[in-house]
């Protein structure tokens, strides 16, 4: 019984997601590139304001839901060519009814 309890990892909540620098991955993917570009091109104030607005917009669209909820929402409501790289193995969202 000495190592049995260390064998499994249980998160505090079932919807606990990975965070980097305190942000979920979907929010970090929007903020980090804009911040790095702002520092690289000496436009940190302008791109900082834009990244802050985009961060607020993503938080507003998620409305307390998880990151996968936003990804599923984008899959069903945005054009298919936007997510062709991420959704290669599943059918287009325009095929709403499957035939058996």
The answer as to whether 46 is a domain residue is yes
The answer as to whether 99 is a domain residue is no
This prediction's pTM: 0.62
pLDDT, tens only, 47-91: 989 999 999 998 888 887 877 788 788 778 877 777 777 666 777
Residue 57 is part of which domain span? 4-64
The answer as to whether 11 is a domain residue is yes
The answer as to whether 17 is a domain residue is yes
Distance CA 26, CA 10 (A): 23
The answer as to whether 95 is a domain residue is no
Distance CA 75, CA 83 (A): 7
Q: Number of structural domains, the chain?
A: 1
Neighbours of 69 (CB within 10 A): 14
Gyration radius from the chain CA atoms: 19
Among residues of the chain, what percentage have pLDDT more than 70? 68
The answer as to whether 20 is a domain residue is yes
The answer as to whether 82 is a domain residue is no
Distance CA 59, CA 27 (A): 8
Higher pLDDT, 66 or 9: 66
Confidence class of residue 37 from pLDDT cuts 50, 70 and 90? very high
The answer as to whether 41 is a domain residue is yes
């Amino acid at each position: 019984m000495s190592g049995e309890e260390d064998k499994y990892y249980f998160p505090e909540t079932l919807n606990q997601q990975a965070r980097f620098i305190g942000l979920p991955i979907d929010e970090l993917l929007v903020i980090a590139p804009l911040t790095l570009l702002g520092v690289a091109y000496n436009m940190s104030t302008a791109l900082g304001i834009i990244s802050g607005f985009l961060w607020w917009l993503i938080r507003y669209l998620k409305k307390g839901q998880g990151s996968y909820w936003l990804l599923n929402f984008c899959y069903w409501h945005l054009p298919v060519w936007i997510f062709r790289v991420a959704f290669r193995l599943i059918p287009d969202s325009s095929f709403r009814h499957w035939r058996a």
